[in-house]
Structure 1
């Protein structure tokens, strides 16, 4: 029999076969062609040698168990190759089903992360044991990429957990569980402290279950919670969980397909619901078995085509010692991220007390990680030892990179750079963390403008994965390459944009906020506005997000932008949201959460209580409504249309950067695949998007008029892509 290349067969004298996942060509196991071929060979051998086999253990030789589908394969899919991808996925499901119904106990010994296809592989086993190791994550996060599980995950989670828990715990939210939480939520059956303990428990299960089978393959099995009745369209949420609507399940295309598929995947429930948006991959063939009920569907190509290489011609260079100027929330988070990456940090503020307070932020994060078993006390102590708080500029000597993170004030930023530029290394990279101020203007405050660049971090820095790199007019290629290397060194995802007020992320999210606030000003019920944002898929509702940012900050940015436009000889076009913000701040003295009052009311502990009743009193027009779809798409289109304008203006130079930045940085709904992929995937393609934009413009204002670039691409049958 031909030898498997990615799955190693090990059989002991007692007849237990251990299938060791070990792709020799990758650092992680993925569901690629080599795995599919290996799985076919192993399955044939298992069936051929069934009588000599007492049980099967599936584990991995890698640090992770299985990383799931190979996104590189998905990115390369075209309409011409879609059928091949579909057939490959169906083949994997057939092989897993053959192993599942072999009549022998099959145990998944999950020795690390098992996400997506990796967890689906474990689901095909009769028993799942997870190694309780730091960094291990378990679940099906496909929905966050605009994908659906394609390896049997939908039907198996429904059979295992019931419809409600399968949807809310696994499929719709994309939650990634650590081993203990996975056990608590029913995703695994046991956890183990060591690899040896894990394998011993796997053997114990095999000893106790010589003729194992899945519960749903036994006579009389019933799905937990019962089987739902057939309807012509999916319910907005499981009948037993009426609060599900607040979890944003109904309107999202990804979750909507989950609703349809978890019903079609039930015995006797194989009819497609009419009228729903068809998947990209066409279903073919007659469904006759479990795996045939669960075809893989690619709703949106993932918007994470990461640009792995920095600008060419510059040798990679690591930062060894970084100066962080400003120990507030942003500076403290940046210091922690750098120290976690092994970089020595000098954290400077105007006083030693303030700098020490900034370091304490890292201390709290480390203590929390130790308490949860995510790191050891030794490693936490080493991280903290790399951060040196100071108020003295002289302590920055030898730093080969500077990241300034003081308040958004041009003169202040100039001042702090002038204090240290002659102290740090003579070729130190000079970075400013700013969300809106033009980098070219900030560079005027330093002598080496070619080494000056913008690094826009997102709050909280320790959690947010994106950094927006802003290239000023005089930023050199070497500085750009070094900034790219630094961002990757601290395990963040970089996108690169050209200089402009607000850059990409801050400018675009401002349109989302303005549109939501404008609807309040028009007299629409504020709770409906919040629900529209939630059900469009935004992780933060628009008015609550405005409160978090504070109403005074967007107003300050607006005033600066208007002044810049007028000084350049242009005419400022006021947005309908401006009046609402001005009244909230000036008339009602409600500046946002930090001020204790905004669009929401807050308790003494600072927690959000409810929408401020005064909104209804002062803004709402009883009986005034607009279509709910319009409310959702006004926010989505406002961001998408301005992203296209940024491409026109040359601020954005990469479609991938737009998609990545919109999801990882500013919370554009993940089901879309990114802001420009949302345009590509809209019903009717770009022509359909243009037609809908013109419809919104007629109803709600010229700001929805499609840009010339969008219209041209629509007329030529093109899409937004970086492909040449």
Structure 2
């Protein structure tokens, strides 16, 4: 795992090469091998200095998350993180110079190895990233990162890297003081060797081990630093609502650890890491954000019997916001795009949507003009269906109207190749019904993208009753090609994501009609960790849109349709009051011309506030549990799998990652408690809170989703 080489000049080279893993990672075996190599170099009198580098494309990717996820108690946490922390401290106090020759990305524990070295040289490559992203997975750097980085570059400059997981390319890392030199890739090892040969052993002392050490930018107890800590802690609480413990633990490490010597600071870091590593929220985040996400992105559920499909050219029917966004995404992925609409002006306007995005990126220096020009060249606006003849895939992104969708389906299929896929971007209409007009329903699939398409990472791939497994597999290939994360769901009205997510705004409107204070409803949404409070969210997506979906459901189900508690609220807001949402400046909120928003004062006139109010926790439970319950019904009905349900909730509507996704919440809360709450609520809302038998069976047998 660590190749050891000593040359005639006394330079030892320790090369990371964890051959049994896809990348160099820190696990028990690799840490032990690294510790053995470091001790060997320190103990050999012939060694004058040591280079640490890698033979893999990356330097070291960080800790083995499977190992961390398996930690059960504090002692296991100490056994996991302690060895690497100790060997890095041994390395930096060995009185022999160590230099990190960073050939590729160094993240997490990889960068912590570099920080412990006496000198850091990185190859000049734009794809190299340096950073400490542990916070994004509910963790903290546990090999000295919270202690060394603030001592190197100052507390203020270190905070974004530690609290936000910010990453830097070599040039920015040099500017920040994280590395000491950026050199051509071919010169990396020779320049590291030159530095060692020119550095006397007595110079191999880190600044914080000298008596005259002073914190860059001010000591932790200085007025400027105290002000930073106060400001950051207040901002953190506002952002996390106390749901994400990692940023708070990192701030505690910095505040407490930087007021004492490094060895004590490292012990503080170890204790805080143990607090996180044993928490359920961290395990939820690692499982969802790393394990599950990686499986989805590598298409783990794709049929292996179907050959991989390559895509060169696609067609998009409809150049509105969704179609235009998809055209932009596909063109940036290197695909030729036929963007079709009823008029040339509409199609050109759709292309201009992508051009505006690209112009902004060029203006901010994030994109080269040549890349912009090439992407725009790949988009062909048209009104002619014959231009679809050589497309591999055609995506319909027109209005949610069956008649319009049927017309464009027939006209497109008349021109398409037999092996091409036809995909509908419908968000609510069942795919099997839309496919009934297709002359080849086996090649008809749902691909529900989320708006705005250029930002939202999720796509729901919907299997109709006639959709072939080959079509599903190829749709997954396309999702990967355009860098979207796909989930596969079976057909039903609203599919999975919209169906489960709708419970959040529906429950908010239901409580509003019951007389629950709207401020209480909104605060509960914030405290729960949702991206937006529910009534504000309705204004963003438009009450008019939800109203249209309600009317369509009534038409589709006819006499079988059951009125829902939120129906009357939507009818009042849309039909009687014309308060459609933010787009009109009038919804559950008012939107003053000077900016911002405030709850509409007239709400109390139409939805009188009851004398007795529920607790904040009761409102939070209703908002959150209703989503999980509907997701569980989707699993019980075979609409979606467990992993895809959780990923869909995270990427589709921002369900909190610390809960592990919408089904992860059920495991976190515990089925007995969840069932008890739902049974209590079903007394006045039997349809919404009816517990599926699957959950009762799971509770009886002690099973969980994960």
Question: 2:651 — aligned with what?
Answer: 664
Of 430-439 and 353-362, more deviation after overlay is shown by: 353-362
Question: 2:26 — aligned with what?
Answer: 31
Of 169-178 and 338-347, more deviation after overlay is shown by: 169-178
In structure 1, C-alpha distance between the alignment counterparts of 2:191 and 2:513, rounded to whole Å: 62
Contact kept? 2:359, 2:372, Cα under 8 Å: yes
Taking structure 1 as reference, are residues 158 and 557 closer, same or farther at Cα in structure 2, changes over 3 Å only? farther
How far is the alpha carbon of 1:574 from its aligned partner? Answer: 1.2
> Which of 624, 636, 642 is the matching residue for 1:648?
636
Taking structure 1 as reference, are residues 50 and 423 closer, same or farther at Cα in structure 2, changes over 3 Å only? farther
Contact kept? 1:321, 1:398, Cα under 8 Å: yes
Contact kept? 2:547, 2:574, Cα under 8 Å: no
Question: 2:688 — aligned with what?
Answer: 703
In structure 2, C-alpha distance between the alignment counterparts of 1:220 and 1:242, rounded to whole Å: 33
1:141-166 CA-to-partner distances (Å, cap 9, x unmatched) read 44444555444445556766888887
Question: 2:160 — aligned with what?
Answer: 169
1:494-545 CA-to-partner distances (Å, cap 9, x unmatched) read 2111001111111111112223344444444544433432332223333332
In structure 2, C-alpha distance between the alignment counterparts of 1:625 and 1:12, rounded to whole Å: 80
Contact kept? 1:137, 1:176, Cα under 8 Å: yes
How far is the alpha carbon of 1:646 from its aligned partner? Answer: 0.7
> Which of 589, 606, 610 is the matching residue for 2:578?
589
How far is the alpha carbon of 1:340 from its aligned partner? Answer: 2.6
How far is the alpha carbon of 1:480 from its aligned partner? Answer: 1.0
Taking structure 1 as reference, are residues 616 and 656 closer, same or farther at Cα in structure 2, changes over 3 Å only? same
Question: 2:623 — aligned with what?
Answer: 635
- Which SS does the other structure have where 1:675 is aligned? coil
> Which of 405, 427, 443 is the matching residue for 2:435?
443
Taking structure 1 as reference, are residues 33 and 385 closer, same or farther at Cα in structure 2, changes over 3 Å only? farther
1:650-680 CA-to-partner distances (Å, cap 9, x unmatched) read 111x211112111122211111222212221
1:400 aligns with 2:370: no
Question: 1:515 — aligned with what?
Answer: 507
Contact kept? 2:315, 2:340, Cα under 8 Å: yes
Give ranges in structure 1 of 5+ residues lacking alignment. 229-236, 270-286
How far is the alpha carbon of 1:180 from its aligned partner? Answer: 6.8
How far is the alpha carbon of 1:571 from its aligned partner? Answer: 4.7
Taking structure 1 as reference, are residues 509 and 165 closer, same or farther at Cα in structure 2, changes over 3 Å only? farther
Contact kept? 1:148, 1:258, Cα under 8 Å: yes
What does residue range 136-215 of structure 1 map to in structure 2 within 5 Å?
136-154=128-146, 156=148, 169-170=160-161, 173-176=164-167, 188=178, 192=182, 195=185, 211-214=203-206
Contact kept? 1:300, 1:672, Cα under 8 Å: no
How far is the alpha carbon of 1:117 from its aligned partner? Answer: 3.4
In structure 1, C-alpha distance between the alignment counterparts of 2:7 and 2:28, rounded to whole Å: 25
Of 151-160 and 686-695, more deviation after overlay is shown by: 151-160
- Which SS does the other structure have where 1:312 is aligned? coil
- Which SS does the other structure have where 2:416 is aligned? coil
1:40 aligns with 2:35: yes
Question: 2:63 — aligned with what?
Answer: 69
Of 123-132 and 712-721, more deviation after overlay is shown by: 123-132
Contact kept? 1:148, 1:297, Cα under 8 Å: no
Of 295-304 and 136-145, more deviation after overlay is shown by: 136-145
What does residue range 5-404 of structure 1 map to in structure 2 within 5 Å?
5-6=1-2, 13=9, 19-24=14-19, 28-33=23-28, 35-49=30-44, 52-54=47-49, 58-71=52-65, 77=70, 87-104=79-96, 113-125=105-117, 134=126, 136-154=128-146, 156=148, 169-170=160-161, 173-176=164-167, 188=178, 192=182, 195=185, 211-214=203-206, 216-219=208-211, 226=220, 238=230, 241-255=233-247, 291=270, 294-295=273-274, 297=277, 299-301=282-284, 302-303=287-288, 304-305=291-292, 306-307=295-296, 308-371=300-363, 374-404=366-396
How far is the alpha carbon of 1:66 from its aligned partner? Answer: 3.5
Of 119-128 and 453-462, more deviation after overlay is shown by: 119-128
Give ranges in structure 2 of 5+ residues lacking alignment. 223-228
TM-score by length of 1: 0.81
Contact kept? 1:254, 1:671, Cα under 8 Å: no
Of 44-53 and 314-323, more deviation after overlay is shown by: 44-53
In structure 2, C-alpha distance between the alignment counterparts of 1:106 and 1:113, rounded to whole Å: 19
Across the two proteins, how many residue pairs are aligned to each other? 680
In structure 2, C-alpha distance between the alignment counterparts of 1:39 and 1:659, rounded to whole Å: 37
In structure 2, C-alpha distance between the alignment counterparts of 1:462 and 1:397, rounded to whole Å: 26
Of 197-206 and 317-326, more deviation after overlay is shown by: 197-206
In structure 2, C-alpha distance between the alignment counterparts of 1:147 and 1:690, rounded to whole Å: 31
Taking structure 1 as reference, are residues 315 and 371 closer, same or farther at Cα in structure 2, changes over 3 Å only? same
Taking structure 1 as reference, are residues 136 and 354 closer, same or farther at Cα in structure 2, changes over 3 Å only? farther
In structure 1, C-alpha distance between the alignment counterparts of 2:570 and 2:152, rounded to whole Å: 49
Of 30-39 and 147-156, more deviation after overlay is shown by: 147-156
Query: How large is the RMSD of aligned CA atoms in angstroms?
Result: 4.1
- Which SS does the other structure have where 1:346 is aligned? strand
- Which SS does the other structure have where 1:327 is aligned? coil
Taking structure 1 as reference, are residues 58 and 400 closer, same or farther at Cα in structure 2, changes over 3 Å only? same
How far is the alpha carbon of 1:444 from its aligned partner? Answer: 1.3
- Which SS does the other structure have where 2:560 is aligned? coil
Question: 2:475 — aligned with what?
Answer: 483
Taking structure 1 as reference, are residues 238 and 105 closer, same or farther at Cα in structure 2, changes over 3 Å only? farther
In structure 2, C-alpha distance between the alignment counterparts of 1:449 and 1:332, rounded to whole Å: 26
Question: 1:410 — aligned with what?
Answer: 402
Question: 1:234 — aligned with what?
Answer: none
Taking structure 1 as reference, are residues 386 and 19 closer, same or farther at Cα in structure 2, changes over 3 Å only? farther
Question: 2:668 — aligned with what?
Answer: 681
- Which SS does the other structure have where 2:349 is aligned? helix
Contact kept? 1:253, 1:671, Cα under 8 Å: no
